[in-house]
Amino acid sequence: MRAAGQGTGGAAGDADGPGGPGVPGGPGEAGAAGDGGPQGAGAARASGPGGGAPRVPRGSAASAQNGSCQCGARGAERRLVQLYLTMPFSSPMEAELVRRVLSPDATPLPRPGAVLKDFTVSGNLLFIRLTAADHRQLQLSISSCLQQLSLLMWIVQCFLPVFLALLHSGQRR
């Protein structure tokens, strides 16, 4: 999903993250699929049965900022599927607030196949990356994540005006 105003292109489900794969030749392209570097592998693209996420090379780590991934390659080659999502907010403060709300539940359970979630902020943009071992898990995680975001935005819309009013009047501690 691309943020409005960030240009077109890219398959559904793609979004440029900071240094993410993005559209070939587009901004933020860093690390070809399969190179095992951070944010480099397994970008989910709309593809047919013959395509799919690039394979992670044997023995290489994938996706996490420290180069390791709990659902990465174990023994035989494994496919990882990922979703990158960029969501714009009206201010960096809002983006950071949403990141702080969603991050506590991002820690994956210590079991095989748990979905990895990464939330980062740059300016007024929230970048979300979901990494899963199979498409079904990723689909479930995407659905859940979008529903959480929807609820969050609803709450923020309800209460942000009061929050900003208090902020400007200097009443927030």
Partner 1 sequence: MPAVLGFEGSANKIGVGVVRDGKVLANPRRTYVTPPGTGFLPGDTARHHRAVILDLLQEALTESGLTSQDIDCIAYTKGPGMGAPLVSVAVVARTVAQLWNKPLVGVNHCIGHIEMGRLITGATSPTVLYVSGGNTQVIAYSEHRYRIFGETIDIAVGNCLDRFARVLKISNDPSPGYNIEQMAKRGKKLVELPYTVKGMDVSFSGILSFIEDVAHRMLATGECTPEDLCFSLQETVFAMLVEITERAMAHCGSQEALIVGGVGCNVRLQEMMATMCQERGARLFATDERFCIDNGAMIAQAGWEMFQAGHRTPLSDSGVTQRYRTDEVEVTWRD
What is the number of other CB atoms lying within 10 angstroms of the CB of residue 149? 17
- List Cβ neighbours of 122 (8 Å cut-off, separation of 6 or more): 18
- Residue ranges in contact with partner 1 by CB under 8 A: 97, 100-105, 107, 144, 147-148, 150-152, 154-156, 158-160, 162-163, 166, 172-173
Min CB(104)–partner 1 separation in Å:
4
Distance CA 17, CA 84 (A): 7
Give CB contacts under 8 A, 24+ apart, made by 153-161. Answer: 156/94, 156/97, 156/98, 160/94
Of residues 32 and 154, the one with the C-beta less far from partner 1? 154
Min CB(140)–partner 1 separation in Å:
8
Q: How does DSSP assign 24-92, residue by residue?
A: TTSTT--S-TTS-SBTTS-B-----TT--SPBPPTT---BSTTS--TTS-BSB--B-EEEEEEEE-SSH
Query: Across the beta sheet with 116-122, what order do the strands follow?
Result: 81-88, 125-132, 116-122
Min CB(66)–partner 1 separation in Å:
18
Min CB(162)–partner 1 separation in Å:
6
Min CB(157)–partner 1 separation in Å:
10
